[in-house]
Structure 1
């Protein structure tokens, strides 16, 4: 029997519960939880064990999940990777930006990212890793909050007023003592980003880590992505930060031009 919360939740027109439940199962897996047994999954998702098992069997037949023969637990199948690759291939900005990201890493020796915005989060769609021993724990497909990351603020600054209000209304939760949690100060920060065309993160997401980011515009002038460089604070001297900011701004402008953007 469905849980009380499932029964009481209003469903929009066209809602298909079985599809929603199957997608919820796929989203249940994460880097922190790559595998799960049927019982644990059913309990966490408030599903009957038989329902969860039936959905997993269907997804397994289509290749979206697979069962680990050693422990009987389920994990994502290779078919999900195929879909991810199809989606990434559709991002022209990723194809154009990748050589520039490599150039940034060669020049600065720090990790470079390309990210897009989605409902209050940034999604990393490309990454070039540096050879430094102190590196950033990130990966393609990773999501982070927009309000407390340099690349996230860079993208959020160019969203609609309604979207910015929605994100602020959801809460500016302090990730570190440096996180901006005051609405007035945060709005001023976004205004400064729009004016300068660059964003920074001074240990707002993670202590010991800074980030410099710049927006990428498409042929219509819309901010469609952002690139960033992240570095540990021990390497972020004022002189080096100035070099990072300049390099990021120039690379973002080059990517924008390659996408057809013409600045005034």
Structure 2
């Protein structure tokens, strides 16, 4: 939802804002810092952090600062498990990473959003902090997203791109629906799709849809090309998952 609902419950919204600020911080936060970052009064912040601690979503350190609680991790794993991933998905990804040396990914379009559900690290790939299990990624700038977009009817593809928007990540990122359509025009659904420096500078990625599913597998590589051998192994992995 992009518009604020008329029946928004402010207290729930504030509690989630507190949880988000604590979760994204690189160190424990005091209540005063939480209040300042969330634009809340100190009294309201104390009530919210105590409630979140009681429910297990925040943890109070001995010095009085706050960290994310164990319930956050539990909800994360439940979310990942809720997706009906292909059988042996983790095994196939680990094998792909092992034989190519490149990090392997499994992703799906969910409500028009590209969500990464599994990752197997490889030493020949850079660390991409935005392509982590459970995170959303950009469908227009990633090979995973392009492979899934290619499998959609043109009208649906345009709706997905328009709804998500086309933010620029590098100077090579396509920033219009027409740019993406032009890239995909010469490809057939199911083909391996590549992007070169569109999501991160000096990083190339390849992606392929798992036949008969709404899933895609992908790999990343340093530089602006994906080795032909790695592309071939990626296509094999997609067929294995089918």
TM-score class, shorter-chain normalisation, is: 0.7 to 0.9
RMSD of equivalent CA atoms: 2.8
Q: Structure 2 CA distance, aligned partners of 1:37 and 1:192?
A: 54
Q: Structure 2 CA distance, aligned partners of 1:86 and 1:27?
A: 18
> Does residue 230 in structure 1 map to residue 213 in structure 2?
no
Residue 126 of structure 2 is matched in structure 1 by 135
Residue 5 of structure 1 is matched in structure 2 by none
Out of 171, 192, 195, the residue aligned to residue 201 of structure 1 is 195
Mean Cα displacement is larger for which, 15-24 or 188-197? 188-197
Residue 39 of structure 1 is matched in structure 2 by 32
Q: CA deviation at 1:170?
A: 5.6
SS at match of 1:35: coil
Mean Cα displacement is larger for which, 205-214 or 35-44? 35-44
Change (3 A) 1:173 1:39: same
> Does residue 18 in structure 1 map to residue 11 in structure 2?
yes
Change (3 A) 1:31 1:20: closer
Residue 238 of structure 2 is matched in structure 1 by 252
| Contact 2:192–2:235 under 8 Å retained in 1 | yes
Q: Structure 1 CA distance, aligned partners of 2:27 and 2:110?
A: 23
Structural mapping, 1:19-98, within 5 Å: 19-31=12-24, 33=26, 35-70=28-63, 72-93=64-85, 96-98=88-90
Q: Structure 2 CA distance, aligned partners of 1:227 and 1:49?
A: 46
Change (3 A) 1:95 1:196: closer
| Contact 2:22–2:66 under 8 Å retained in 1 | no
| Contact 1:202–1:209 under 8 Å retained in 2 | yes
SS at match of 1:61: helix
Residue 115 of structure 2 is matched in structure 1 by 123
For structure 1, list consecutive stretches of 5 or more residues without a partner in the other structure. Answer: 1-8, 257-264
| Alignment deviations for residues 202-250 of structure 1 (CA, whole Å, 9 cap, x no partner) | 0101111100111135xxx441x2111101017x46xx2x222222122
| Alignment deviations for residues 108-155 of structure 1 (CA, whole Å, 9 cap, x no partner) | 1111111233456433221111244x6323332333322211112223
The number of aligned residues is: 237
TM-score normalised by the chain length of structure 2: 0.82
Change (3 A) 1:255 1:196: closer
Q: Structure 2 CA distance, aligned partners of 1:86 and 1:53?
A: 29
For structure 2, list consecutive stretches of 5 or more residues without a partner in the other structure. Answer: none
Residue 210 of structure 1 is matched in structure 2 by 204
Q: Structure 2 CA distance, aligned partners of 1:157 and 1:41?
A: 43
| Alignment deviations for residues 4-55 of structure 1 (CA, whole Å, 9 cap, x no partner) | xxxxx85344x43322322232233445545333233333333222222211
| Alignment deviations for residues 37-80 of structure 1 (CA, whole Å, 9 cap, x no partner) | 3233333333222222211111101111112324x322211111
TM-score normalised by the chain length of structure 1: 0.76
Residue 189 of structure 1 is matched in structure 2 by 183
